[in-house]
Each structure stands twice: as structure tokens, then as C-alpha cells.
Structure 1
Amino acid sequence: MKPTLLATLPFLLFALTTYFPLPFTQGVEQVKDKNGSPILVSKKYFIWPADGSGGGLRLNETEQCPLVVQQAFSEDVKSLPLKFIPTENINDFIFTGYTSLDIVFEKKTKCAESSKWVVVKGGFMEPWIGIGGGVNGKSVIDGLFKIETIRSFRGYKLVFCPTISDPTGQCNNIGRFFDNENGLRLIMSENFKPFEVVFVDVEDTAGFGRSVV
């Protein structure tokens, strides 16, 4: 082997593992929507239960200031479209267990600081998913969301990875708990079954069988 080629090989290996890590990462897959198309950062989606039970995600409108992310019991309740925004601008795709995300509803209520999902501690039995900044004086847990595959079913699960955790790097499932007669509150907990979900392209909801905005 020529000396020039020997000198070049270490650089090529470094470039491949630094700039193109995903093909070499075991178990990492592109996140896909219900029709099998890759989820794109540039598009909007609905989140629906993978088993078809209940409706999509919206804000709990029974509160004076709707801040709680909730799954509606009824399939006829309109769902809020959202976007997945990687915290590191890698490309337009999202990968299971790899891409750290902000999840952002398309719209926010007037009383909220933003429409970005946050995990709130206080006022409920488990940390819960809300929107905005400081939520009514309660503490917001710093961290990021990821999407992971559930091998036993056809859907995915959402997880939240706190910046400070024990052990370091631990991510917690996003589950559901009865909130009121209108729906299930999304919570962060390892004590509840993860909420198994599918993603539906907002532009491809014709014939999906649910009322959406």
C-alpha cells in the first residue's frame, strides 16, 4: 500500500464516524409515519394512539389557561398539529433513540409563553407534559424528547431524557393517566405503560377516520 494512502486512511475513518455516524449505529432507524414515509422536520404531524383507542393530542380546555397536554377520549375531538424540531440540525430526518427533539404544537394559547412541550413537576402525582415556560410557578425539568421503537407493536413511544439524571443519560417513558372526564394527561413515568403512538402527516389525513384540524 502506498504511503499516501496509508496517511489518508485515518482521516477517512475519522470523517465517516464523525459526519456519518448513523449507518454505523446499531438499532438506529428512521422514524416513519403511519403510511411508512419518513418523518420530516419540515412537515407537520398529528400524534394518534397506535392501538386506535381514543383521540389525538390537544390541550386540556377545561382549565382557565390550557397548558396541559392531553389525549382525548373521543376520536371525534380535533387534534393539534405539531412539529418535531431536532436540537442539533443534522438533516431533515429523525432517527429512533438518536435524535434529540423539541416537540412544538403549531398554535399556543394566549396565556402560554410558547407552544413547546415541557415536563412540569408539581400539581400532579407524576411530572406531566405541558406547554410554555414557567407553568404557574411550578418547576420545569430541563431535558429533551426522543422517539423510540416498540418492538412488540407497530408504533413508537415518546421518551424524555432529563439533563440531570441518575444514572446519567437515562430516559423516561411518556405514559398516560386519567385526568378528567375529557381525557388522559400525558405524564413522565417508568411506573406506567408507555403511550404507544403513530404519526400522521397533516397533509395526508383524508380517509383516516378521525376529525382533525
Structure 2
Amino acid sequence: MTDRVTLDRPWLTLDLGQPMQVLSWALNRPGFVIADRIVWREVRNADLPEDLDVAVWFDDALQARGVADSVAFLTSRDIRRFCTAEAQVGDTHVFCLATVGLSNAERIGQRLPYHAPPTGTINVAVQISTGLTQAAMLEAMSLAVQARTAAIMDAEIRIGPDRLPATGTGTDCVAVAAPEGSTCFAGLHTALGEAVGRAVYDAVSRGARDWKAEPRPGQ
């Protein structure tokens, strides 16, 4: 499925191959929508001055690119460092494409002092082969988020005065795509749940390891 991934910096595109239901909280098309691609737009701090209406700017950029009907992520992560993973369990195939930046890492239930503009985020696209109901899409989303969190905690990005493991970043976004269908369940006991968890965990883990290994200013 990596042949459906196109890098044209500052854009990264996952072609879903057909229109699918996509669930996300993406800035441009949140909630349940129909889309045939998920795209990333890499930005630098200079692209997003404090007085900018980011939603309007992003809509204009998507229109100019001809992908306004996509589900789209914004990230300051170098999109050339994207990571992919696949999992096949029974008849279910899951593909995950993730970009992982952790400069604004956070831990659930607490917040570090905000520093604007945010730098780095985790963006995860999950494509599922099985046709799902909306209820199963919601359950699959919960597992994708759980897998992302487990991967970040296992990477031991320690933050805050207590140096506790981060669980994500302040600007994470996840999109789950699947055909419409009759499969009603996607829990941890199912083949679907196993495949979603494995693909997302592997892609995000690889991205976190890459980010940790990169030199930082002052190192």
C-alpha cells in the first residue's frame, strides 16, 4: 500500500483508492465524512503568525492544491520522516501512515505551560479493509488512539517537573478510514482490533524512535 503514498513536500498524500467513510477531528472536515484521500501539509512557524486565521488559511491552501474534499492534517514535523506499518489478521488488513513529532509533548491530565506556536505533533491515518458500521468506526478510533498512546508511553518521552512519560502531544489528530459495511465490533478481542492496534503501534513507535534519535538544538 505504500505505492498509494505520495510525498511532494510540503504535501504528503495517502490515496485511499476509493471514497470511504473517514472519522477524525481534522481541522478542515471533522466528524464522519466521505473522502478518497488523507493529506498532510507541513508548515514552519513563519507560515503561521499569531494573527493568522489558520482554518481559513488552510482551506485556501487545500483549495489551491485541489484537495479540498480530503481530510487534512497540519504538522511542523518534517514529512519526509513519515512512517508506515501494516497488519493482516484473518481477513482484515490495516495500513497506518504516521508522522510523529514530540516537541510539544503532553501527559494526560496535566498541561505544561503553553508556548506558541506549537512545534511538532502526531498525525495518524488508519485505513481498514473491512466494511464497518459507524459504531465500529468509533471503536476502531478508540483502539487507534490507545495504540498511539501506548507507543508514546513505551518510548519514554519524559516531561514536566516530575519527569513522567508523555502520552501524546497537545495537537495530535487521528483519522480512521474504512468502507461502509456491516461489521459492528472492533474491540481488543477481535481480529480487526488486533490489526488496528498492531499497525498503529508499530508506525507510531518507529516515528517516536526516529524523533528521539535526531539531534536537537544545543545537543
- The question of a shared fold, defined as TM-score above 0.5 by the shorter chain, is answered with no
Q: Which is richer in helix?
A: 2
TM-score, normalisation: structure 2: 0.26
**Structure possessing the higher radius of gyration over alpha carbons:** 1
TM-score, normalisation: structure 1: 0.26
